Amino acid sequence: MEDWLDYVQRTGEQTKAHRVLSAATKMRHAVREDHATLRRYSEKYGGRDTEKKDLPKDALVRIGFQIMVAVRLMHFFRDAGMTPLAMVASRLIRHMYGSDIHWDARFEPGVQIVHAWGSRFRRRRASEKTASFSRT
């Protein structure tokens, strides 16, 4: 048993439940960071509703934040090992928002998208240091 625990600790092997929990924790953190960025820029540049910091309301009325919440859900599926659902989420984002975001594209926490219509984000290749973004 000791050898197995040592192996699991060294390899980082996780059960499905641990992957899902870890993915959910990362998603929650990223959404909160994205919302904090939205609020910070809203206060800095005089956006509407700067006195209210209501995440659910902002997720409903702010299109850029809606897209980031959808991207975070897509990240959750990918990180939890549910790749087909991540691909479906990518396709739904494409149809709902007109923004082509690859299911394996990575966004750091604290991202704000102002206008994503016609935008395309692809995943980073192993040989690249950064991912690419283009507008059509």
Q: What share of the chain in percent tops pLDDT 90? A: 28
Cα 95 to the chain's mean position, in Å?
17
Cα 36 to the chain's mean position, in Å?
14
SS3 assignment, position 37: helix
Could you tell me the pTM of the whole model?
0.76
* H/E run at residue 120: strand 119-122
Q: What burial class does residue 19 get, using C-beta atoms within 10 Å of its C-beta: 0-12 exposed, 13-18 middle, 19+ buried? A: middle
Give residue-wise pLDDT tens across range 88-116.
999 999 898 888 888 888 888 888 877 66
